[in-house]
Chain A
Amino acid sequence: MLRWIFKPRTLRASLSYIVLFVFAFTTIFPFLWMVATTFKSRGAIFSLPPTLYPDLLFQEGMWEAYKEVLTKHNFLRYTINSFIVAGAASVGQLITASLAGFAFARMKFRGSSFLFAVLLSTTMIPVEVTIIPEFLLMAKLNWLDTYLPLIVPSFLVGSFGTFMLREFFAAVPDELVEAAVLDGATTFQIYKDIFLPISVPAMTTLFLIAFIHNWNELLRPVLYISTPELRTVTIGLTTFQNEYGAQWNLLLAGAVISVLPLLIIYIAAQRNVVEGIATTGLK
């Protein structure tokens, strides 16, 4: 046994696990603390020394903070709103990015490489530059306090989505296309009946990434949404934080609710999300 422990390989592996666990602890601790606090009573929250084990866990009133946040503070509504906004923006991005990606990958046209370069290089422009004129444009269009400013910009331009689908479409073998051309299919039919069906995995990845990005969007909801019923979770949390400064169990219950849907999606589709983000760089 001792011999096994001191074997260089075992020693190395256990050292690695120690480092891995240290990183894991630092990563997960804020999440644990977040969840733990939501199951504490007011007294336990402000107790010194702080307790890790929540006093209300498996006791009566365990879900009080969640009930209050979901009903009284409207987080159920905010969550639904976020689903609507992030869903619509992401579906839109799939449509426009796949159309553009298809043209860039499969058609020769004047200015295509120039357009593509412009599309990618403009992602470098900070939002802070474009947001002021964008805000004034939305005001002119009378779109303030609607979901349109949250959906339309993201609906129309998805640079990395276009980039990713272009790569994917370019790799589709020519034989598939030729057969369809012989059958007399139009360009749009080829896009719709051949390219869209085979790119379901890539599109799923893109949808998830766009969804995460739009769900977490903070600046636009803060600027554009003023009616409380229209708030998404991020602006809901921001205003909640300003109004209920030190009610940590309620605030953090709100935080858990806003993070949970994404975590579920992430855990269910981890490979898609991780690989997609690694290749496209989000946004």
Chain B
Amino acid sequence: MKHGKLTPYLFVLPTIFGLLVFRLGPTAVAAYASFTRWNVRTPPEFLALGNYVELVNTETFWLVFRNTLLFTVIFVPGVMIISLLMAMMVNQKLRGIAFFRGLYFMPYITAMVAVAMVWRWIFATRFGVLNYALTNFLQVADPPAWLADKTWALPSLAIVAVWKQVGFQMLIFLAGLQSVPGSLYEAASIDGASKRQQFFKITLPLLSPITFFIFVITVIDAFKTFEVTFTMTGGGPNNASTTLAYYIYQNAFTFGRMGYASALAMFLMLIVGVTTFISFRMKDRLVEYAL
């Protein structure tokens, strides 16, 4: 197509402007701010590595980091296993299957604040329906206080987050499953391969590029988890469920420590970046391109 020399630049202008003002610019400012003491009211004061030194020497930071890792360790396998199972279930030719597919996706499009509310009510210690079911149907004598309990608060958040997220990963897995040619399964069953063998020898290897992709995005999601913490526990009790992204928010907007919060944000960006980098370096070893 023929066009003027400047025309394409005019078309991308709004997007480029937005990119500079709302993404690249702020990232650069945050990187600079992480080397300063900055409490908004006074101008930033250069600290060099001061914030980073403080961060490494703060117990809360390590607690928060551990929380984030623990959350990741529950969230990632939870999401991946359940969403793969769901995708395999809705990949069958059964009556009404589209209904189930649509239903499983529902939590993903609803607002976290809204579903967090009902989950808080389900998890409620005394009148919650979960503890009622545990004591009366499963004979658990002393069920935990869930969100109010130091040990259980974070796993509870992870459960809700998994519940809300799986529909999305299910869709991606489903797209992957549908791209596996049916003829492979036919050939395998003619050769006498059991369903189990077919799953481990055909489905999983052929799915590995997609599994890899899902793994990376799910890990990144887990590192960035904010809304579930914000809406359900506010990091409580006693920081037991504070995750890194929430800790950044707290430092910046509750304690007004913009510089320190920026250093934390840089740390978050670093682990997201490193994870992505390592994953792609290891990709060739982990992913089988059969066929």
Q: Please report A residues at the B interface, Cβ cutoff 8 Å.
A: 13, 16-17, 19-20, 23-24, 26-28, 30-31, 33-34, 37, 45-46, 48-50, 95-97, 99-100, 102-104, 106-109, 112, 115, 118-119, 122, 124-137, 152-153, 155-158, 162, 177, 181, 187, 190-191, 212, 215-216, 218-219, 222-223, 233-234, 237-238, 241, 248, 251-252, 254-256, 258-259, 262-263, 266-267, 270, 273-274, 277-278, 281-282
Contacts and interface: CB of A to CB of B under 8 A. Distances in A.
A58 to B, nearest CB: 22
Contact of B1 (A46, A107, A112): A107
Q: Which 6 residue pairs spanning A and B have beta carbons closest together?
A: A156-B18, A103-B11, A133-B26, A130-B26, A133-B29, A157-B18
A193 to B, nearest CB: 14
Contacts of B22: 130, 134, 152-153, 156-157
B15 A255 contact: no
Interface stretch (B46-54, B63-71, B257-265, B282-290): B257-265
B102 A274 contact: yes
B1 A23 contact: no
Interface in B81-98: 85-86, 89-90, 92, 94, 97
B163 A122 contact: no
A237 to B, nearest CB: 5
Given A30-B163, A136-B29, 17 more contacts: A30-B107, A46-B127, A96-B18, A122-B23, A128-B245, A128-B249, A128-B264, A129-B30, A133-B25, A134-B22, A136-B258, A156-B14, A156-B19, A187-B1, A237-B113, A254-B114, A259-B111
A267 B253 CA distance: 37
Nearest to A221: B113
Contacts of B85: 19, 23
A128 B249 CA distance: 7
B129 interface: yes
A126 B231 contact: no
Nearest to A119: B19
Interface in B239-273: 245, 248-249, 252-253, 258, 261-262, 264-266, 268-269, 272-273
A165 to B, nearest CB: 11
B117 A241 contact: yes
5 contacts: A126-B272, A132-B261, A157-B23, A258-B113, A267-B102
B94 A16 contact: yes
A47 to B, nearest CB: 8
A82 to B, nearest CB: 10
B111 A216 contact: yes
B243 to A, nearest CB: 11
Contact of B94 (A13, A216, A222): A13
Contacts of A256: 114
B111 A215 contact: yes
Given A177-B1, A237-B114, A132 B104 contact: no
Residue of A129, A131, A136, A156 with most partner-chain B CB within 10 A? A129
B140 interface: no
Contacts of A46: 127
Contact of A16 (B18, B89, B217): B89
Interface stretch (B167-175, B181-189, B197-205): B167-175
Interface string B2-39: 11110111011011111101111111011001000000
